[in-house]
């Protein structure tokens, strides 16, 4: 029952997003489903139908402007975000790589390495913030806080873990 509800919440979120429904309305819709099935004891699919069909009906009743359907999030800025991520990653990798591989005085190399690491840390923080904004935050109307979904957090942890592993490998191969 709870896993069914969790799955339904996730699928409804995706389907409403796909139709450009704003985050606060997505939060309302998910809270309505939770509240209703808690009272009726029904399975979410029995009460509300498949998430894609229900999302379609809900977005119709919201009368969203035609252009909003389609991609969720600030699509126009995705290209810029990719460019920034690529540029900072290359610069940071260059700095760290140079610091590890180069010879000469230690102090400037250490400074370059630390700058590179700081740039990477900043990039990770910025990506997390960008993702939250791009998500057009789904607000739980009952608490006024973000609705919690496990998936994005897991993705960010995976990303951070991969970066850490990469650094460890670089350090091992160079020492």
Partner 1 sequence: MDERQWPAEWMRGALEVCVLAVVARAETYGYEIAQRLQDAGLGTVKGGTLYPILTRLERDGLLTSAWRAGEAGPGRKYFAITPAGERALRERTEDWVTFTERATTLMTTRSSQP
Binding site for partner 1 (CB under 8 A): 28-29, 31-40, 42, 46-49, 53-54, 57-58, 60-63, 141-142
Q: Decide whether 39 or 103 has the Cβ nearer to partner 1.
A: 39
Shortest Å, Cβ 62 to partner 1 = 6
Q: Which two tokens stand for residue 23?
A: 């985050």
**Interhelix angle 106-134/150-174, nearest 10 degrees:** 170
What are the Cα distances from residue 100, in Å, to 5, 28, 95, 96? 50, 52, 9, 6
Label residue 63 left, alpha or beta by phi (over 0 means left) and psi (-120 to 50 means alpha): left
Pick between residue 57 and residue 174 the one whose CB is nearest to partner 1. 57
Least CB distance to partner 1 at residue 33 (A): 7
For residues 73 and 84, the answer to whether their CB atoms sit within 8 Å is no
Residue number with CB closer to partner 1 (105 or 144): 144
**Minimum CB distance to partner 1 smaller for 112 or for 147:** 147
- In the complex, the smallest distance separating the C-beta of residue 169 from partner 1, rounded to whole angstroms, is 46
């Amino acid at each position: 029952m709870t896993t069914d509800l969790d799955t339904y919440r996730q699928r409804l979120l995706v389907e409403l997003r796909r139709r450009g429904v704003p985050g606060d309305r997505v939060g309302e819709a998910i809270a309505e489903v939770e509240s209703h099935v808690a009272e009726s004891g029904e399975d979410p699919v029995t009460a509300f139908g498949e998430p894609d069909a229900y999302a379609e009906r809900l977005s119709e009743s919201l009368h969203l402007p035609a252009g909003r359907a389609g991609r969720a999030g600030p699509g126009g800025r995705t290209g810029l975000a990719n460019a920034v991520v690529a540029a900072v990653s290359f610069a940071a990798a260059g700095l760290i790589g140079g610091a590890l591989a180069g010879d000469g005085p230690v102090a400037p190399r250490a400074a370059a390495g630390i700058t590179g690491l700081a740039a990477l840390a900043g990039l990770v923080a910025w990506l997390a913030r960008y993702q939250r904004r791009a998500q057009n935050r789904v607000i739980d109307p009952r608490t006024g806080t973000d609705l919690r979904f496990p998936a994005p957090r897991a993705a960010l942890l995976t990303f951070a873990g991969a970066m850490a592993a990469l650094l460890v490998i670089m350090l091992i191969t160079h020492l």
